[in-house]
Amino acid sequence: MAIAATMVKELRSRTGAGMMECKGALTETNGDMEAAVELLRKKGAAKADKKSGRIAADGVIIALVSAAKKSGVLAEVNCETDFVAKDDNFSAYARAVAETVMAKRPASLEALSELTLSGGESTVEEARRELITKIGENINIRRFQLVEAKMDASVSAYVHGTRIGVLVTTSGGRADLGKDIAMHIAASRPLYVSKDAIPAQVAAKEREIYAAQASESGKPENIVEKIAEGRLQKYFNEITLLGQPFVKDPDQSVGKLLNSEKATVEEFIRFEVGEGLERRPDNFVAEVTAQAKGV
């Protein structure tokens, strides 16, 4: 039977598939719209499975904080290229994922995948696979973390572009102090809040390294110990939030700033897109050629 343009348009709006794919599916199912939808979903699932092994190290960080500032969510959703990371459909999906986490508090990525996506009817996993088919890249929800403020503490967030996100829980101080601290964390990458939070084995290993370095100076043992301890304390200041120079006023440390505000930092989380993931080499020509061939 002849396939009308209106039928192709309707199928495209329902599935997000390409025009030629829609026309082919309608032709194959003899114009049966529901059968065509099912056919495209099956083909889409096969395509999603094929793309699932490809490296997805680009993407976005989404940070959400509740109206009362008592809870927050940080989520990373990955894709393969910066181009797709800027796509409105991808961005909307990533935000909906974070909203789903905020609303339903899943305990794991597996539990999250089975929940209904915020603002939709499909599950998080179904929507992910549909988006893979529509966009043509592998998409993964890499991680998320929920933060709950205790007692009189509050949660603040800062997102640098879409690639770095921070949640920080603070008590006391001015209203915008939490955001300033979150901005500092985004820029300065502390690993711990304070020296007390550094694991004992990490501190012991660094102390051993600096002691070995100082012993090569040939100086007396008591001097060697002072040199090693000085280098160790400098290192501790570099990796702890309280020891770092505050980005907005490098003449004072974050610790001194908090003391002046009579404020404390309970915890922080910092996500950066793709950290620790292998990135694929960019080859735009090969990518376009592959897409043209339907790979």
Give the pLDDT of residue 258. 98
Helices (H), the chain: 5-15, 19-28, 33-51, 82-85, 88-104, 109-113, 124-135, 177-188, 200-215, 221-239, 254-261, 284-292
Q: What is the pLDDT along the chain (295 residues), one digit of tens a residue?
A: 788 888 888 887 776 666 777 888 889 888 888 888 788 766 664 444 444 555 567 999 999 999 999 999 999 999 999 999 999 999 999 999 999 999 999 999 999 999 999 999 999 999 998 898 888 888 999 999 999 999 899 999 999 999 999 999 999 999 999 999 999 999 999 999 999 999 999 999 888 888 888 877 777 777 878 888 899 999 999 999 999 999 999 999 999 999 999 999 999 999 999 887 755 444 444 444 444 344 4
Distance CA 219, CA 161 (A): 49
Domains of the chain: 5-51 (1.10.8.10), 58-192+268-277 (3.30.479.20), 195-264 (1.10.286.20)
Contact 74, 43 (CB under 8 A): no
Q: Which residues are registered as beta bridge partners of 263?
A: none
Helix axes 221-239, 200-215, angle to 10 degrees: 140
Give the pLDDT of residue 44. 60
Give the pLDDT of residue 17. 67
Distance CA 232, CA 239 (A): 11
Distance CA 16, CA 28 (A): 18
Q: For 31, left (φ over 0), alpha (ψ -120 to 50), or beta?
A: left
Distance CA 73, CA 63 (A): 6
Contacts of 63 (CB under 8 A, 6+ apart): 72, 73, 74, 75, 98, 157, 158, 159, 165, 166, 167
Give the pLDDT of residue 72. 98
Distance CA 219, CA 230 (A): 15
